[in-house]
Structure 1
Amino acid sequence: MSGGIGANEEGIITKLSPRPVAGTVARLTGMVTARGMKVFAVIDQAAEARQAGLDLRETVLVLFGNPAAGTPVMAAEPLSALDLPLKVLVWDDAGQTRVSYYAPATLGARYHLGPDLEAKLAGINPLTDALIAA
């Protein structure tokens, strides 16, 4: 299920969440932890904007991953660390929560990863499918 602004544009996948931004972020971080992965950071970009006296739609970036999966990718292609750990952007689009991330194939092509290494990043697809399930 993809759609909306930026959907599949430049290798970005966007899915619609039935939950508000905060609920989607809480569900995502819970799912990541329950699957034995690590949440490295949750950055509330809208809150940071407010602290600077600026307005920004609800926008939260979640950085997470599994070092056992990501380390071989970074060992083979050091510049992949620019995109790892994996990132999911949860954001509000006029009342609709969207979940956006780089497609594993996009990252694979960007860093010339073989199928085995690209597969180590592919878990983000079923994770986000489960995230947006009702």
Structure 2
Amino acid sequence: MNTCDRIIVGLCGVLLGLLVRMSPAHADDTLVTKQSHYTVAETIDRIARAVTDKGMLLFARINHADEARKVGLEMPPTELLLFGNPRGGTALMLAAPTVAIDLPMKALAWQDQVGRVWLTYNAPALLPVRHGLAAELAARLDPVGTLLERAVE
């Protein structure tokens, strides 16, 4: 193998490593999880208030524990809030249609086995990396992380 071939093989290895790192199997690297000082319901209530105070819309609130009970199953309190801004979200989807898989934004409040409550959400930095969004468009998402963090303080 000559020097050129070795360089090409090395570069292919680096590229493969990067692709594996960006694969859905590693998507949890882009999740942010913060402990909440409130119950699951209170955490979601606080986020819902903060979201509407900023002029965003609430699209859905899903209580997974309630839905589990309806089919005879039990799980700790777990609620998901879907929210966003159609004007901002549409601009992102026009720039990169695949971003629609990650919109509207989601906030998950859940209780662990020892009773602690957590808030988990996609890191705002996820969308530009995952969907190739321009920095100026992606910057519109920066305040969302701050809003969510403040809701659990």
TM-score, normalised with respect to structure 2: 0.78
Once residues 38 and 100 of structure 1 are traced to their aligned partners in structure 2, the CA distance between those partners, rounded to angstroms, is 19
Once residues 34 and 108 of structure 1 are traced to their aligned partners in structure 2, the CA distance between those partners, rounded to angstroms, is 26
Q: Which residue number corresponds to residue 36 of structure 2?
A: 17
Aligned amino acid, residue 38 of structure 1: L
Q: Work out whether 1:55 is the aligned partner of 2:74.
A: yes
Q: Which residue number corresponds to residue 36 of structure 1?
A: 55
TM-score, normalised with respect to structure 1: 0.89
Q: Which residue number corresponds to residue 16 of structure 2?
A: none
Unmatched runs of 5 consecutive residues or more in structure 2: 1-26
Structure 1 residue ranges (4+ consecutive) displaced by more than 6 angstroms after TM superposition: none
Q: Work out whether 1:126 is the aligned partner of 2:115.
A: no
Q: Which has the higher strand share?
A: 1
Q: Which has the higher helix share?
A: 2
Q: Secondary structure at the match of 1:104?
A: coil
Q: Which residue number corresponds to residue 90 of structure 1?
A: 109
Question: C-alpha offsets along residues 25-83 of structure 1, whole Å, 9 cap, x if unaligned?
Answer: 11111111111110000000111111111111111010001112111101111111111
Identical-residue share of aligned pairs (%): 41
CA-atom RMSD, angstroms?
Answer: 1.3
Equivalent pairs counted in the alignment come to: 126
Unmatched runs of 5 consecutive residues or more in structure 1: 1-7
Larger Rg: 2
